[in-house]
Amino acid sequence: MTTEATRPVPLYSDEYAADPYAVFDELRKHGSCAPVELAPGVVATLVIGYRAALEVLQDPETYSKDPRVWQHNLPPDSPVAPMLSWRQNLLFNDGEVHARYRKAITDSFSLIEPYALRDLVHRTSDMLIQNFADRGEVDLVGEYARALPLLIFNSLFGMPDEDSVRVVKWMAGFMEATSPKEANEALVSYDTYLRELVAARRESPGADLTSWLVEHPAELTEQEVVDEIMMTTSAGHEPTANLIANALARMLSDDRYYRTVSSGALTATDAITDVLWNNPPMLNFSTHFPRRDVDLHGTWIQKGTPVLISYAAANTAPSDLPKGPRSDTGAHLSFAAGPHACPVKQPAVLISSTAIDRLTSWLCDIRLTVPYDQLTWRPGPFHRALTALPARFTPIAPDQKGTNPWNVSRSSSTPPHATSRETSNVSAP
Ligand code: HEM
């Protein structure tokens, strides 16, 4: 029987988006696990204790990632259906199937040299900064943080520069669609495009992630490569955009960071670490389904029902965090943990810190025009995403003396083709 005390708490409301940590504090009365509603009629268990979260993430024998036992319960038009329905990729599979897809991704990403990636981020950042630098004001979410990861992925997957506008439109179309019809149209166009790209790379491989996936010893089929690309770009886009935006919001509203532009002590990496602990890009995800009825730290969870991890609540859980000095920065759960932990965390942090450093080095007096506590957040049970991040700065012009974002990228000192295979095509967008 559902009583007031056990009624699932909605994670899709505006109140939750405004202050999720107040909701997590309220949920702590349940212990390490609490009943929540992800969308109307979609009920789940949210793990909010640190140790309980680790237990789920590190125990694939008990907790499966495959939603097919449950997804028939999802209302077909539910807004969370795309995030929770099974697909043929690493996120929704266990065991050997998962390991095969995951190895193809980790092996392929390992061929990208960090300095080549940094150079790509510099050129992509400069290109975006050129669009607003002479204006003196910008929405850092719409014009920078959300635009940058998509352009980077285009390059990494070897999509020709001239296709980048329509590819970015399709990707944004299916990830940020306002209706299922719009999402489906974008998805079909992107899928068709990717099939052509994969066929072309099979015919004539280049030095890019698509070719490396095609050539991988896992012998992925054409459809599997297409699904890997789609999964990786969508898994990477939202959290990377939020990591950049949330860290910039912290930095540009706090004088301790502001001073660093010339002389202070705190850096972009500090802001990223702070965000990963205290305001992570994904607040809750890692959906699992127990293979049998389980008792998780005092809560009975029924076999085949969804269990999500609240990285945000677990990171800040007051009582069950490991005791002792917390000098390590590796123990937050914001990249998850266990077999499905984010396989691309180092590149993701490198992209984010480089993008922030590049922006603040060109626009060194950039400041928010809205106080931090008046910023607004997009509703939704999974992400921690700002709706906008308005900022102001002293404009800079293309014909300005010395190096500027317009002339520096043209004379970049780092060669564009620079990876461990010497042939990588992480070219400028
Ligand atoms: C370059 C950018 C990124 C790429 C390409 C990427 C890619 C991926 C992929 C392929 C997975 C699935 C792993 C698996 O199931 O075995 C994954 C999982 C995950 N990623 Fe990332 N990621 C990126 C950035 C980030 C960032 C910035 C965050 C947040 C701090 C993040 C958090 C996570 C989490 C929490 C999971 C586990 C999801 C789950 O199991 O449900 N990722 N990522």
d(CA 103, CA 216): 9
- Measured in Å, residue 66 CA sits from the centre of ligand 1 at 17
Residue with CA closest to ligand 1 atom 19: 342
Contacts 24+ apart (CB under 8 A), 164-172: 164/429, 166/193, 167/193, 171/233, 171/234, 171/237, 172/146
CA of 348 to the centre of ligand 1 (A): 9
d(CA 411, CA 229): 31
Q: Would you list the DSSP string of 299-328?
A: EEE-TT--EEEEHHHHHT-SSSSPPS----
The stretch 395-414 carries a mean pLDDT of: 76
| DSSP tag of 419 | S
Lowest mean pLDDT among 73-87, 111-125, 167-181, 340-354: 167-181
In whole angstroms, give the CA distance from residue 139 to residue 144: 8
Task: Judge if the beta carbon of residue 336 lies within 6 A of ligand 1.
Answer: yes
Which pLDDT band holds residue 1 (cuts at 50, 70, 90)? low
Q: How far is the CA of 389 from the centre of ligand 1 (A)?
A: 24
Structure-block tokens of residue 113: 């040299």
- Select from 279, 344, 382, 384 the residue to mutate for testing ligand 1; criterion: most ligand atoms less than 8 Å from CB: 344
Our CA angle for 209, 211, 217, nearest 5°, is 100
Pairing label, strands 42-47, 307-310:
parallel
Residue nearest to atom 34 of ligand 1 (CA): 335
Distance from residue 150's CA to the centre of ligand 1 (Å): 15
Angstrom distance (rounded) from CA 414 to CA 392: 31
Beta bridge partners of 138: 391
> Does ligand 1 come within 6 angstroms of the Cβ of 235?
yes
Average pLDDT over every residue of 408-420: 45
Residue 259 — pLDDT band, cuts 50, 70, 90?
low
Bridging pattern class, strands 33-39 and 367-368: unpaired
Between the CA of 336 and the centroid of ligand 1 the distance, in Å, is 8
DSSP-derived 3-state class of residue 407: helix
Q: Which atom of ligand 1 is nearest to the CA of 339?
A: 16
Query: What are the tens digits of pLDDT across the range 272-329?
Result: 999 999 999 999 999 999 999 999 999 999 999 999 999 999 999 876 555 554 544 4
Minimal-distance CA residue to ligand 1 atom 1 = 348
What phi and psi values does residue 125 have, to the nearest 5 degrees?
-60, -45
Give the strand pairing for 294-296 and 299-301: antiparallel
To 10 degrees, what angle do helices 268-278 and 345-362 make?
130
Is 335 close to ligand 1, i.e. is its CB under 6 Å away? yes
**Predicted confidence (pLDDT) at residue 266 exceeds the cutoff of 70:** yes
Pairwise CA distance, residues 172 & 146, whole Å: 9
The Cα angle at residue 226 between residues 350 and 60, in degrees rounded to 5: 70
Atom of ligand 1 nearest to the CA of 282: 29
pLDDT classification of 173: cutoffs 50, 70, 90: confident
Rounded Cα distance, 135 and 129, in Å: 10
| Residue pair 425/207 in contact by the 8 Å Cβ criterion | yes
Residue 343, ligand 1, Cβ within 6 A: yes
Both tokens assigned to 288 = 């699992």
> What residue's CA is closest to ligand 1, atom 32?
335
> Among 342, 353, 384, which is best to mutate for testing ligand 1, by the most ligand atoms less than 8 A from CB?
342
Amino acid letter, residue 389: L
CB 392 within 8 A of CB 137: yes
Whether 344 is in the pocket of ligand 1, judged by its Cβ within 6 Å, is yes
Question: Which residue's CA is the closest to the ligand 1 atom numbered 23?
Answer: 236
The token duo for 81 is 């259906």
Q: Is 281 in the pocket of ligand 1 (CB under 6 A)?
A: yes
